[in-house]
Amino acid sequence: MDLKDNILSLIEKTPDAILTGIAGRVKQRRLEMAYTQKEIAQRAGIPLPTYRRFERTGEISARSLVMLGMALAMTDAFENLFFEKQYGSMDDLLKDKSVNRKRGKRNG
């Protein structure tokens, strides 16, 4: 991977690109489940024009997006959002003693 590829990957990760990518994946899931735009909007409890704008632009409130996720049986994706801890290297991971560490109850 050269410098040009790195710069292009940064340019592609704009907020608008991320939002339209999410909208595209929601649309794909909707089509896989054979729902019309009207059906998914009703199932999610959001107005049809709101859903149509979302598919077109990626713009939607967080609450409406979660409601769509629930209607599409995708709530696990929201529960895992921002959950993973990021490490700079394998050494950082190994140094983090809090990873999956649990203590038992003391007897007595």
Could you write out the DSSP letters of every residue in 11-30? HH--HHHHHHHHHHHHHHHH
What is the total count of domains within the chain?
Answer: 1
pLDDT: is 52 or 14 the higher one? 52
| Residues recorded for the chain | 108
Q: Would residue 62 count as lying in a domain?
A: yes
Looking at the domain assignment, is residue 97 inside a domain? no
User: What sign does the dihedral 9-15-20-26 (CA atoms) show?
Assistant: positive
Residue 92 lies in a domain: no
Domain membership of residue 26 (yes or no) is: yes
CA neighbor of 60 nearest in space, from 12, 13, 18, 10: 18
Residue 104 domain-assigned (yes or no): no
- Domain encompassing residue 68: 3-76
Q: Report which of residues 73 and 3 the model is more confident about.
A: 73
In a domain, 50, yes or no: yes
Residue 86 lies in a domain: no
Residue 108 lies in a domain: no
Give pLDDT tens digits for 15-57. 999 999 999 999 999 999 999 999 999 999 999 999 999 999 9
pLDDT at 94: 77
CATH of the domain at 57: 1.10.260.40
